[in-house]
Amino acid sequence: MEALTVFLLRGGPAIWAIAALSVATLALILWKLWRLVALGAFAGRRAERAVTLWQGGARDEAAAAVAGRVGLRARLVRAAIEALGAGWPEAMAREETTRIARRLLSEAREGLRALELIAVIAPLLGLLGTVLGMIDAFQALEASGAAADPSDLAGGIWEALLTTAAGMSVAIPAAMALTWFEAVADSARADMEDLATRLFLAGEGG
């Protein structure tokens, strides 16, 4: 704890901002994980079973398979089945299914812009802190003149570089989490496109 306090004090204002970003990043990653689980972003068996039943002509069983399900894929399949069963023209049913898909994907991508912003600004804050620290170090060197102690300069540079390391330590996990969350959303989108296409290819009859 004492080492952390010294680290924060030596890093200056930039390190405090980066520390706040690190807390926000952790909270955002944990919240996003919980959100994806709540959205059923990793579930798809029910949706796949419903589409298979629909293609086989078991329309009532297909609707029952996704009734009340909260997964992204199941909700999309349910919306498509309802649109097809409503007797709408195929173009209208497709448009309604597309609208629901966009809304579901928006839910899946919620919070990703904040992670992207953190991944961008954290290293920039670190670089800013380093530049400001270097300025202070060289100003101290100039003021000391011929009596300058190289160890004092080295210490000032070392402290200045702390912010760069801190900024990168926040940006790297944020970027990794962002990439993984985007991959999950892209996978859900691909699956939903596939499921909806198969439903519409099976037609409205039955």
> Which range marks the domain in which residue 72 is found?
2-201
Condensed to tens digits (0 to 9), the pLDDT of residues 96-142 reads 999 999 999 999 999 999 999 999 999 998 888 888 777 776 776 66
Provide the number of structural domains found in the chain: 1
Asked whether residue 158 carries a pLDDT value surpassing 50, the answer given is yes
DSSP 40: T
Read off the pLDDT band of 190 (50, 70, 90): very high
Burial of 4 (0-12, 13-18, 19+ CB in 10 A): exposed
Is 170 a member of any domain?
Answer: yes
CB count within 10 Å of CB 149 equals 11
Question: What's residue 206's pLDDT?
Answer: 47
Does a structural domain hold residue 44? yes
- In angstroms, the CA 195 to CA 97 distance is 11
> What does the pLDDT average to over 133-153?
65
User: What mean pLDDT do residues 187-206 have?
Assistant: 83
Structure tokens given for 53: 């039943």
Rg of the chain taking only CA atoms, in angstroms: 27
Q: Is 57 inside a domain boundary?
A: yes
Tell me the whole-structure pTM to 2 decimals.
0.82
| Dist CA 187 CA 145 (whole Å) | 62
Q: Please indicate, yes or no, if residue 206 is contained in any of the structural domains.
A: no
Residue 48 within a domain: yes
